[in-house]
A and B are shown apart, each in its own frame.
Chain A
Amino acid sequence: MENHFEHLYEVLSKVDGYIYPNEIELHWSILIVLYPYITGLVAGAFILASLERVFNVKVLKPTYHLSLIAALAFLLTATLPLIFHLTQPQRFFEIMITPNPTSAMAIFGFVYMWYLMVVLLLEIWFDYRKDFVLWARESKGIKKWIYTILTLGVTDISPKALKWDEKIGYFVTVIGIPSAFLLHGYVGFIFGSIKANPWWSSVMMPVIFLFSAMVSGIALVLFLYMIVSFIRKIPSDMKCLDTIGQYLFYILILDFTLEALDQIHRFYEAEESFATLQMLMSGKLYITLFIIQILIGTVIPLIALGLFQFYKPAEKIRRITYFIISIVVLVGIFFMRWNVVIGGQLFSKSFYGFTNFKLILAGQEGLFVSLMLLALPFAIFAFLLWLLPPWKKHDIIEVSDD
């Protein structure tokens, strides 16, 4: 508690203007930045996978399973930042037991479970069911056990049964797309519905969150695909990269337009909070908003990707550029979440002053925990790739016992 007070006294000494005394403690810290960031990556990666399946975009085939597995890896981590930031983490189950129907956050538990159990796990299960059965036969030791459990005891891989898998998998993908929209639009609603906070309160918030989620998810798949190809020492498919780059370009334009629209609207209406928000943007958020989010995370990738639509330089250059773009876009979207979550708490609801955010290193809400939580999905991703390697899947045509 002493450390906590010391931290608060230090923040108090850096307050500008007047803020309510209870506002000195900034309540939603870096963990709540991570939460929409990770959830957005899930939704975005899933939507990219669904595009391939539902709209039959063949050229994206190499990334289909990677996207699904990445979505699962990140989804499994998505609740952790939320639970870690609770002051009473051992009570987290209450959100499922007595969810308050009027609370946006309460419904998250169910949206999350729906998305995890009914969409993602089912889609992956139907997609890998045949392989589970075959892998269970081929493997030895612990792997054999895992695959056998994963088959849930169903070993029927007759063409008829596989046809069912395909059909239901397709159906799940179709309901998965609105579910992914719901999942992340909904995370935007958690912020957009807070009327007390003019920086958050906007009907555009869910839409902006959704599109930025797609941007970040596409960038993540681009990044992971190139990394995985590099580790497997196989060249990544250039056509696939170009197509992902093209999608990223379009969605990035949409995302940028929507965010600009939101800000223009705010500027034009110029409500009572306007002066404060203007000071916030030109002051404490200047670097993370204008330099990192807009310039590095949006404008530069847009210029590079836009250029590639007209003029295609050598493959090697394109490859390197795509790799760099995927990273800067991922960083840009992280800071977009940062600007929303932290930015929305830097000004006082009295509109008379600003507080400061000082990132602590150790502790429950510190930088180390956050880095760990950010690294965790990559570890899970690697584990899932080991367990469910897409490149070892048995092609449907190979099996024709019947």
Chain B
Amino acid sequence: MIPPQITRLSIVFAIIIGVFLVLRLILTPVSFGEKGHYRALALIDNMDHEMHYMGNESCQNCHELETEMHASDLHSDLPCEGCHGPAYLHNSKPDSFHLVKPEGRQFCAKCHEQNAARPGDLINQKIIAEHNPEYQCIECHNPHKPWE
């Protein structure tokens, strides 16, 4: 003989669990659990982002002269967008969006300033404050062809 309060409680609990299961069914997002414990669609969401850096190939079609110079000297390994910034806007609207032409001694210093942490054999280092301080770097060095 089950006492009435137990029966009543069981009904209440059954209702609560039932509601929970229904809510769970409704609220579980689409594609959840298809590939693992996550929304499989989140993979697509993560892919859905515009590329900003387009690579050297995208520059070479138009900027032939620079490409040629660049390839012929020590800076040939440098990616165009490393100095000029992401090209995606410029590539889609070349006339209205222009990339930066970095100037000033501090820009070159980011790589070439003497620093004990910089591998000496890998990169030409100068104490920027002492190396011809009265000139801009690009007055002597063409950045596309530094030893010209």
Binding site for B on A (CB under 8 A): 93-94, 96-98, 100-101, 117, 122, 125-126, 129, 152-154, 156, 160-161, 164-165, 168
Flag if A97 contacts B37 (CB, 8 Å).
no
A28 smallest CB distance to B (angstroms): 24
**Chain A CB within 8 A of B9 CB:** yes
- Interface residue from A93, A98, A153 paired with B37 (Cβ < 8 Å): A98
Chain B residues lying within 8 Å of A153, measured Cβ to Cβ, are 8
Ordered by A's residue number, 8 sampled pairs between the chains whose C-beta atoms are within 8 Å are A125-B9, A126-B5, A152-B9, A153-B8, A154-B8, A156-B3, A156-B4, A164-B6
Flag if B27 contacts A152 (CB, 8 Å).
no
Give A165 to B9 CA distance when docked, in angstroms: 12
**Chain A CB within 8 A of B71 CB:** no
Give A100 to B39 CA distance when docked, in angstroms: 12
Chain A residues lying within 8 Å of B46, measured Cβ to Cβ, are none
B93 smallest CB distance to A (angstroms): 30
Flag if B27 contacts A93 (CB, 8 Å).
yes
Flag if A96 contacts B20 (CB, 8 Å).
yes
Given contacts A98-B28, A161-B3, A164-B3, contact A152 B8 (CB under 8 A): yes
Give A164 to B8 CA distance when docked, in angstroms: 14
Given contacts A98-B32, A101-B37, contact A164 B24 (CB under 8 A): no
Given contacts A93-B27, A98-B32, A100-B37, contact A117 B5 (CB under 8 A): no
A125's nearest neighbour on chain B, judged by CB, is B9
Given contacts A96-B20, A97-B23, A97-B28, contact A161 B37 (CB under 8 A): no
Interface of B is mostly: helix
Give A375 to B24 CA distance when docked, in angstroms: 33
Flag if B5 contacts A152 (CB, 8 Å).
yes
B23 smallest CB distance to A (angstroms): 7
Which chain B residues in 1-37 approach chain A with CB under 8 Å? 3-6, 8-9, 12-13, 16, 20, 23-24, 27-29, 32-33, 37
Give A237 to B13 CA distance when docked, in angstroms: 39
Chain B residues touching A, range: 10 to 19
Q: Mark B111-141, 1 if CB is under 8 A from A, else 0.
A: 0000000000000000000000000000000
Chain A residues lying within 8 Å of B3, measured Cβ to Cβ, are 156, 160-161, 164
Binding site for A on B (CB under 8 A): 3-6, 8-9, 12-13, 16, 20, 23-24, 27-29, 32-33, 37
A46 smallest CB distance to B (angstroms): 20
Chain A residues lying within 8 Å of B24, measured Cβ to Cβ, are 96-97
Give A125 to B32 CA distance when docked, in angstroms: 38
- Interface residue from A94, A117, A154 paired with B4 (Cβ < 8 Å): A154
Give A167 to B136 CA distance when docked, in angstroms: 91
Chain B residues lying within 8 Å of A97, measured Cβ to Cβ, are 23-24, 27-28
- Interface residue from A93, A98, A161 paired with B5 (Cβ < 8 Å): A161
Chain A residues lying within 8 Å of B12, measured Cβ to Cβ, are 152
A160's nearest neighbour on chain B, judged by CB, is B3
Given contacts A97-B27, A97-B28, contact A164 B5 (CB under 8 A): yes
The 4 A-B pairs of least Cβ separation, nearest first, read: A164-B3, A154-B5, A97-B27, A152-B8
A178 smallest CB distance to B (angstroms): 20
Chain A residues lying within 8 Å of B20, measured Cβ to Cβ, are 96
Give A117 to B10 CA distance when docked, in angstroms: 12
Chain A residues lying within 8 Å of B9, measured Cβ to Cβ, are 122, 125, 152
Flag if B37 contacts A165 (CB, 8 Å).
no
B33's nearest neighbour on chain A, judged by CB, is A98
Give A97 to B25 CA distance when docked, in angstroms: 8
Give A129 to B9 CA distance when docked, in angstroms: 12
A92 smallest CB distance to B (angstroms): 12
B102 smallest CB distance to A (angstroms): 24
Give A125 to B5 CA distance when docked, in angstroms: 10
Chain A residues lying within 8 Å of B13, measured Cβ to Cβ, are 117
Flag if A117 contacts B8 (CB, 8 Å).
no
- The residue among B5, B12, B16, B24 with the most chain A CB atoms within 10 A of its own CB is B5
Give A161 to B4 CA distance when docked, in angstroms: 8
Give A93 to B24 CA distance when docked, in angstroms: 10
- The residue among B3, B8, B28, B33 with the most chain A CB atoms within 10 A of its own CB is B3
Chain B residues lying within 8 Å of A100, measured Cβ to Cβ, are 37
A397 smallest CB distance to B (angstroms): 20
Give A62 to B29 CA distance when docked, in angstroms: 50
B122 smallest CB distance to A (angstroms): 25
Chain B residues lying within 8 Å of A160, measured Cβ to Cβ, are 3
Chain B residues lying within 8 Å of A161, measured Cβ to Cβ, are 3-5
B26's nearest neighbour on chain A, judged by CB, is A97
Give A267 to B33 CA distance when docked, in angstroms: 44
B9 smallest CB distance to A (angstroms): 7
Flag if B16 contacts A129 (CB, 8 Å).
no
A82 smallest CB distance to B (angstroms): 19
- Interface residue from A101, A117, A165 paired with B16 (Cβ < 8 Å): A117
